[in-house]
Amino acid sequence: MSESRSGELFEELLSLVAQLRGENGCPWDRKQTRESLKALMLEELYEAFEAIDRKDERALQEELGDMLLHIVFHAQIGQEQHTFTMDEVLVRIIHKMKKRHPHVFGEAQVKGVDEVLLRWEKIKENERKEGGMLSSLPKTLPALLRAFAIQSRVARVGFDWSDASCVVAKVKEEWQEFEEAWKSRDQSQMEEEWGDLLFALVNLARHLSIQPEEALQKSCNRFIERFHFIEQRIREEGKSLEEVPLEEMDALWEEAKRREL
């Protein structure tokens, strides 16, 4: 096996970004701020997710590089602003991982994944200067991911339903409350009950080992593919969507579903 050049290549990337941000560098790169990079950074993350879903290792390799570039870029901005350097980023994450894995880097003993997660939460709780165990969750997380993360965290300390059947009962209860709000035509109440219903459905997904964000994304993808089939068939017949009755589109929808089998 050839000797790894990761350290050498990482140093080259650091130098490259510093040059791009330098006096004789690229005008676009020099113009970027932490705020302007946020949307681009998020886009790279979701492109990596898509590569994972496609099981495309070559694409994932490229997307991980793009994500790493953003990390180096932010570290370079930190160095320019004298707030932090890449060395400090690396020192901090190495220290954090060692501290949170005493069963690997220390003398602690654990019995399985559940105990690892519980110990992880206790260590994080000791690290927090203020707030509770949910305070570190970003409010900007997509809602399904945030709900899943909230429920997973509190479950680690025992605040959870005993099994999926209990959650099903809760889902039914939330649906009834939503129906009551719907009948009352109270928009604010409907929104609140709809949110509670979704939160309960996420909890059910978690108990069934389903990642709700991924499940909904797959449903969206299936819908797009089936509707694209409808569009193609209607165009082949020389028609437009607007002039085709719903019954005909429904029939094409069912045909698209059959083709998936």
Tell me, rounded to whole angstroms, the distance of Cα 136 from its chain centroid.
15
Based on the structure, what is the number of domains in the chain? 4
Range of the domain at 243: 214-260
250: its two tokens: 């429904």
Q: Is residue 130 part of a domain?
A: yes
Question: How long, in residues, is the chain?
Answer: 261
Q: Which residues contact 149 (CB under 8 A, 6 or more apart)?
A: 137, 141
Residue type, 65: G
**182 lies in the same domain as 224:** no
At residue 115, the pLDDT reads 77
CATH number where 171 lies? 1.10.287.1080
Residue written as tokens 């990761």?
6
Q: Is residue 91 part of a domain?
A: yes
Tell me if 37 sits within 8 A of 70, measured CB to CB: yes
Q: Which residues contact 161 (CB under 8 A, 6 or more apart)?
A: 167, 170, 203, 207
The 10s digit of each residue's pLDDT in 160-206 is 999 999 999 999 999 999 999 999 999 999 999 999 999 999 999 99
Q: Is residue 169 part of a domain?
A: yes
**10 lies in the same domain as 94:** yes
Count of Cβ atoms closer than 10 Å to residue 33 Cβ = 8
**224 lies in the same domain as 204:** no
Q: Within the chain, where are the H helices?
A: 6-21, 27-31, 34-53, 57-80, 86-100, 102-105, 113-127, 143-155, 164-184, 187-207, 212-236, 246-260
Write b or e for each residue in 147-173: b if 16 or more Cβ atoms lie within 10 A of its Cβ, otherwise e: bbbbbebebbeeebbeeeeebeebbee
Q: Is residue 39 part of a domain?
A: yes
Task: Give the chain's largest Cα–Cα span.
Answer: 73
Q: Is residue 248 part of a domain?
A: yes
| Residue pLDDT tens, the chain, 261 long | 467 899 999 999 999 999 999 999 999 999 999 999 998 998 999 899 899 989 999 999 999 999 999 999 999 999 999 999 999 999 999 998 998 888 888 877 878 777 777 777 677 767 666 667 888 888 888 899 999 999 998 998 889 999 999 999 999 999 999 999 999 999 999 999 999 999 999 999 999 999 998 899 899 999 999 999 999 999 999 999 999 999 999 999 999 999 987
**22 lies in the same domain as 90:** yes
Q: Is residue 150 part of a domain?
A: yes
Residue written as tokens 């996420």?
202
Domain end: 119, 136, 153, which one?
136
Q: Within 85-186, where are the H helices?
A: 86-100, 102-105, 113-127, 143-155, 164-184
At residue 1, the pLDDT reads 44
